[in-house]
Structures are given as C-alpha cells and as structure tokens.
Amino acid sequence: MGADSSEGPAVADAGAPSRPGVVDPPGAPVHARPGDLERLLGRYGTMARIRAFEEAVGRRFRDGDIHGFVHTSIGQEAAATGACAALRDGDYLTTTHRGHGHCLAKGADATAMMAELFGRETGTCRGRGGSMHLAQADLGILGANGIVGAGIPIAVGAALAARSAGAGAVAVAFFGEGAVHSGAFHEGIGLSVAWQVPVIFACENNHYAEFTPSEGSWNGPSLVDRAASYGMTAISVDGNDVFAVEDAMSELVAAARAGEGPAFVELRTYRMGGHYEGDATPYRADDEVERWRSADPLARARAALEPLGALDRADALDAAAAAEIEAAVDEALAAPYPDPASVLENIRA
C-alpha cells in the first residue's frame, strides 16, 4: 500500500541530488481535487499559524525572551498539519526538539505555548519545560523531547494503552530521520510489530541531522525499505504537500484504528532555518535552500488555491494568524514568571 504509489518510486522525487545526499525538492502545487477548497483553506490556516508562530519565536529568541535551545520547523508545516489533520482529540502524539508545529496542529493554545517558551507560569508546562519539553496531556500531546529517539517507544506504549482502552485511539510518533539510527527507534518499532499496536511512525526527513546531511550517514537502503523489513506498512510521501500527507496519514490511521497494527511514513521535507536558532548553517549551500524555498509548503498550497480564486481568503488567514500570534506574544510576555518558591512542586505525585 502506498499513498505515494501514483507518484512512482519511494524516495526520490525528481532530478539529480544537488550534492551528495540531499534530494531535490518537489515542484508541483498541492494535490487539490474539486471540492477540496474549504479543507485546503483549513489546512492552509493551520500552516500559516505554525509559520507565524515559528517566525515570532525566531524574533523573540533574538530579543532574548526565549532561553536555552530552540528549534523551529519553518518549511515543515505541511508535515505537522497534514498528519495531525488525520487525528482526533483522543489520539496521542510524541514529538521532538522540533515540535512546535505538531503541538499547534494537535490543538495546543499558541498563547500557552509561547508563555512556555518565555518561561512563564501560564505556559503549557508552567515554565518548567520550555521549547524542548512542550506537552499537554489533555490533548494527547505526551511531550516534545530533548533526547533523540526517546519519543518513539513512548508512542508505542501510548498505543498499547489506547488499544487496552478500546476506544479506537491511535498514537503518532513524530521524529526526524536522524533518529532512525537510535536503539530507541529499532526497539520501539520492533515492539510495535510484535504487539501489533495502533501506532504510526511519522519520520520527517528534512535531510539534515544537526550539521550532517543524513543520506550520507545511512549509506544503505531507504528509510522505507528499512521500516518495511520489520514487517509493517511503510510508505514515503511528499511531506511539503499537505494533502499528500493528510491522505497518506488518514489511510494509515484508519488501518491502525481498525486493528491492522503499526505503520511507518516518511515525510520528505526540508528545514528552511538552522538546526537551532542562531545556527548560521555553513554546512549547506544557499542554492539548495533556495531550491527548497520554491517548494515551500505554504506557497504550494497557495498555488493550488489560486486557480480556485481563493488567494484573498488565504491572505485573510495569513493576517488572522499574524494577529493571533502577535496577541499570543503580548499576552505571554505580560504573564508572570513562576514563583521560585514553587520550584520543588510536582517532583512526585
């Protein structure tokens, strides 16, 4: 099974790699079908919110309002948006150091997230976690993570619990392609197959792990072949096409809900920014970044909206996202810091 089967072989889209290991971007607009207008606008709105959030994070980091390490997902909005569009409230997800988009797309409140990044008491984790540890249990967001790979088996466990609960919930583990070398990935994926639990491994392949081009570091079969060898459905999708992601995820999620076990999906994308805020990216060529800019997930959604005469509505969504995030920043900046006397709260239940 492959949502991508119409597009041909699994990994490579088109064209020769620009340099060893870095795949060229896809070019086509989002695969919209007649009748998709409202859905596409909905997805566009979510992507615009993530984009606005991440851009504000970059600015606020430079202004010193955000501390420590922060990683943004500009360029990867379609992966988070399309994947979470296939989920319900009761579903679980785990994510990574690059998890703002997943949290927003799963329904987390931008103001509470921003407050968390600012270290405020009103943050999703009362300022204890920060960007790398965003979490919101009532939305099924079991946490971003500072340890590469750590969220993968956690999602497997959530899926085990979801199956016991019997309500048809699933779990999604979002992770980067850099995590596929970790023991946590292989042990988690192996367990999921052994247990046949409803978990989707959503691997956002943005082609870099920190400063290292990833294709060069696996030197062997594609991600999909590797995952498939464990005995599960494994597909590769154009991760900058929000509908391609949503369609693929919907199919995999439906199968998981129906008891057909785990699945793996590679979402091919690109991180437009540095690994972390402040990373000058000396390790990659400007022209590579520019080529991927032409495959920007929001631009591709707009290209599909244009013939539908809906660009003005997209503009309105951009404006609404900008206003929402600006208000979130203002409100979060006005929120109090935690009382230092509360530092020992919640160490144990």
Residues of the shown chain interacting with other proteins in the complex, contacts defined by CB under 8 A: 67-69, 119-120, 125, 127-133, 145-150, 178-179, 181-184, 209-212, 217-218, 283, 337-338, 340-344, 347
User: Cα separation of 198 and 298, whole Å?
Assistant: 30
The minimum distance between CB 217 and other proteins, in angstroms, equals 5
Helix, coil or strand: residue 120: coil
Task: Decide if residue 93 touches ligand TPP (CB under 6 A).
Answer: no
Task: Decide if residue 179 touches ligand TPP (CB under 6 A).
Answer: yes
Task: Decide if residue 206 touches ligand TPP (CB under 6 A).
Answer: yes
User: Cα separation of 319 and 325, whole Å?
Assistant: 10
Task: Decide if residue 75 touches ligand TPP (CB under 6 A).
Answer: no
Which residues are paired to 173 by β-bridges?
A: 94, 201
Task: Decide if residue 153 touches ligand TPP (CB under 6 A).
Answer: no
Picked from other proteins, ligand TPP, Mg ion, none, the partner binding residue 93 (CB below 5 to 8 A depending on kind) is none
- Two structure tokens written together for 69: 């390490």
Which residues are paired to 199 by β-bridges?
A: 171
Picked from ligand TPP, other proteins, Mg ion, none, the partner binding residue 243 (CB below 5 to 8 A depending on kind) is none
Task: Decide if residue 285 touches ligand TPP (CB under 6 A).
Answer: no
* In the block, residue with structure tokens 């409230």: 89
Task: Decide if residue 273 touches ligand TPP (CB under 6 A).
Answer: no
Neighbours of 307 (CB within 10 A): 10
The minimum distance between CB 275 and ligand TPP, in angstroms, equals 6
Tell me whether residue 148 or residue 202 sits nearer to ligand TPP (CB atom): 148
User: Cα separation of 154 and 118, whole Å?
Assistant: 27
Neighbours of 330 (CB within 10 A): 11
The minimum distance between CB 300 and ligand TPP, in angstroms, equals 20
Picked from other proteins, Mg ion, ligand TPP, none, the partner binding residue 340 (CB below 5 to 8 A depending on kind) is other proteins
The minimum distance between CB 276 and ligand TPP, in angstroms, equals 8
The minimum distance between CB 203 and other proteins, in angstroms, equals 13
| Residue 320, amino acid | A
User: Cα separation of 186 and 179, whole Å?
Assistant: 10
DSSP conformation letters of 286-331: HHHHHHHHTT-HHHHHHHHHGGGT-HHHHHHHHHHHHHHHHHHHHH
Q: Which residues bind ligand TPP (CB under 6 A)?
A: 96-98, 146-148, 175-179, 206, 208-210, 271, 275
